[in-house]
Amino acid sequence: MDMQASIAPESTTDTPMVKPRKKQRAVLFSLLGLAVAAASGGAVEYWKLVGSRYVSTDDAYTAAEVAQVASETEGSVMQVNVVDSQNVRRGDILVVIDDTDAKLTLRQAQADLARAQAQVIAAISDVERTSIDLKRREVLVTSGSVSGDELTNARNRASSARAALDAARAQVALARARVDKADVDLGRTVIRAPIDGVIARRQVQLGQRVQPSMPLLSVVPVAQLYVNANFKEVQLAKVRTGQSVELKSDLYHGKVVYHGVIEGFDGGTGAAFALIPAQNATGNWIKVVQRLPVRIRLNPDELAAHPLRVGLSMDAKVDLSSNS
C-alpha cells in the first residue's frame, strides 16, 4: 500500500505534460505547412514574374574578330614598334622590313619599262615608214612602174611592222605591271595596323628573317567585342534574334551591367565541331544536354566606359518578352 501511495502522485504529475507537447507539435506542423505553402506560392509567383520571362547562363565569354597581321614580303625585320598590350590606331606602323631588295627590283622594273617604251617608239616609226612605202607603190602599180610582187612585199612589210608594234605595246603593258607589283612590294615592307585595337601574341623579333604569310602579331579590336553565350538546348525554345540581354562581368565583380542584343545563333553545338566529335552510335550512350553558342552584340558606349578583354567570363540573362 505504501508503494502504491508513492507511485500515484507521480502518475498525476506526468499526465498534464502530455497535452502541452501535443499542442506544441500541432503548432510546429502548422507553421511548417504555412512555410511550405508560402514557399510554393513564392515559387509560383517567381515563375510567373521571372522564371518564365528570363533565361540565363554563366557559361558566356567575350570574343572578338581578331586581326592577324602577317608578312606579305620576304626580308629582314629592321624595326618593331609595338609590344604586347599596346594600343594602336589604324594605319600606325607596326613593323618595318628591309626594303633594299624591293627598291632594286623596282628600279629594274622601271628600266625594263623604259626599254619597252623605246621599242614602241621605234615600232611606230617603222609602221609609219612601211605605210608610206605601201601607199607609194599602190599609186605606181596602176602605171606599171611597180610590179605586183613588189606591192605584195610592201604589204607584208607593213603588216609585220604593225604586228611588231602590237607586240611592243604588249611588252610595255607587261613592264608597267611589273613596275606596279614592285611598287606594291616596296610598300609592303612597312606593315601598318589594319584596325584599332590592342597588340597581342607578338611573335616577330628585330633582325628576324620573315617570309610571305608568316604570322607576326595580332590586333584585338577591344572596342568591338561581343559575347558568346552557351545556352542549354532546353533554354532556347523562346530565344530569338533581336531580344535584349543583360550581362555582368566577373572583371567588375558583377557591379557593372552591360546591355546587349542577340545577333544570331551558331551553326552547331560545341560537341558537333569538336576536334574529336562524340560517337553517339556506341552501345554505352549517355544523353548529355548540349549547349549552343549565341552571339550577343554589346553596347559600344558601355564597352567604352568599362573596357573588357577577350575571353573574360560573363553572366547573361535574356529577356524573352523583349521585342525581336
Residue 127 or residue 263, greater confidence: 263
- Greatest mean pLDDT among 11-15, 39-43, 143-147, 254-258 lies in 254-258
What is the tens place of the pLDDT at every residue in 64-81? 999 999 999 999 999 999
Within-domain flag for 70 = no
Q: Are residues 296 and 225 in the same domain?
A: yes
Q: How far is CA 178 from the centre of its chain?
A: 34
Give the per-residue pLDDT at 45.
Answer: 65
Structural domains of the chain, count: 2
Task: Give the confidence band of 19 by pLDDT, cuts at 50, 70, 90.
Answer: low
Q: How high does pLDDT run on average in the chain?
A: 84
303 & 244 share domain: yes
Do the Cβ atoms of 228 and 295 come closer than 8 Å?
Answer: yes
Residue 82 placed within a domain: no
300 occurs within a structural domain: yes
Instruction: Supply the pLDDT for residue 177.
Output: 94
Distance separating alpha carbons of residues 285 and 282, to the nearest angstrom: 6
Which pLDDT value is given to residue 7?
A: 45
pLDDT of residue 283: 74
| Domain hosting residue 179, numbered range | 100-185
User: Bridge partners of 291?
Assistant: 232
CA distance 5 to 117: 143
**Rounded distance between C-alpha atoms, residue 36 and residue 200, angstroms:** 55
What is the average pLDDT across 36-56?
71
Pairwise CA distance, residues 319 & 245, whole Å: 6
- Model confidence over 139-157: pLDDT tens digits? 566 666 656 666 566 677 7
Q: Is residue 22 included in any domain, yes or no?
A: no
The DSSP secondary-structure symbol of 287 reads -
* CATH code assigned at 247: 2.40.30.170
Relative to beta strand 313-319, strand 244-249 is antiparallel
Backbone torsions φ then ψ of 267, nearest 5 degrees: -75, -10
* Residue 6: pLDDT band with limits 50, 70, 90: very low
**What is the percentage of the chain residues whose pLDDT exceeds 90?**
56
- Taking only the tens place, the pLDDT of each residue in 272-313 is 888 887 777 777 778 888 999 999 999 999 999 999 999 999
Mean pLDDT of 229-245: 93
User: Would you call 23 exposed, middle or buried from its count of C-beta atoms within 10 A (0-12, 13-18, 19+)?
Assistant: exposed
Nearest to 191 by CA among 173, 203, 176, 179: 203
Residue 17: its pLDDT value, please?
A: 55
DSSP state of 310: T
